Structure 1
Amino acid sequence: MIGYVTIGVSDMSRAKSFYSELLAELGAKVLLDKDRIAFIGKSMGQPMLAVCIPYDKEPNHPGNGNMVAINPGSKEMVDKLYHKAIELGASCDGEPGQRIPDRFYGAYFRDPDGNKVAFFHFG
């Protein structure tokens, strides 16, 4: 149902590098790169993450309450990708852990532009 989610960034090179390296273990890469916007994913037919310089050319602003959540397939991958995000320059916004007993495991971080991202696993 979701084709792609777009987040605003201030530095396209940094954002493409950050997300390409972070999501490579999930098989994602930059699929389409057009100056002010780049789409990162496994294929154009699957949900993607787009990073962009805002169309109005005003500074990007992470939305309060907005978040992109990515399911990497296991608790182990949640942990691994969360720690990789931190190594790549993200800041912690909630360390990995069980949030709802036996139901929801998650980890939260802010990318270098302040966008909130979660890795999660149900079950």
Structure 2
Amino acid sequence: MISYVTLGTRDLQQAADFYTSLLGDLGAKRLINMERIVFIGKNNKEPMLAVCVPFNKEDPHPGNGVMLALAPGSKELVDQLYHKAIALGATCDGAPGQRIPGVFYGAYIRDLDGNKVCFNHFG
């Protein structure tokens, strides 16, 4: 159902490098490179992440209550993505941990532009 999600950036190359590196171990790569937008994913038939310079050329604004959630497949991969994101320059917005016992495990970061991202595992 979801085709892609877009996150705004001030620096397209930096954001594309960040997410390509972060998600590369999950099989993601740059699929489409355009002047103001880059699509990252496994292929264009599965949901993708796009980073873009806003069309109106104004600064991007991370939304209050807006968050991208990525499910890598295990608690261990949640931890790995969180630590990799921090090493790539992201900031902590909630260290890895069990949020709802037996149901939800998550870790939260803010990317280089302040967008909120959750790495999570249900079950």
- In structure 1, list runs of 5 or more residues that go unmatched: none
Matched residue pairs, number?
Answer: 123
2:87 maps to what in 1? 87
What TM-score do you get using the length of structure 1 for normalisation? Answer: 0.99
- The superposition leaves residues 19-44 of structure 1 with CA deviations (integer Å, 9 ceiling, x where unpaired) of 00000011001100111001000000
- In structure 2, list runs of 5 or more residues that go unmatched: none
1:43 maps to what in 2? 43
2:102 maps to what in 1? 102
Query: Aligned letter for 2:42?
Result: K
Q: Secondary structure at the match of 1:16?
A: helix
What RMSD over aligned residues (CA atoms) do the two structures have, in Å? Answer: 0.4
Runs of 4+ with deviation above 2 angstroms: none
1:23 maps to what in 2? 23
CA distance in 2, matches of 1:97, 1:19: 22
What percent identity do the matched residue pairs reach? 65
Deviation of the 1:76 alpha carbon:
0.1
CA distance in 1, matches of 2:63, 2:19: 19
CA distance in 2, matches of 1:3, 1:34: 17
Query: Aligned letter for 1:93?
Result: D
- The superposition leaves residues 91-112 of structure 1 with CA deviations (integer Å, 9 ceiling, x where unpaired) of 0000000000000000000000
What TM-score do you get using the length of structure 2 for normalisation? Answer: 0.99
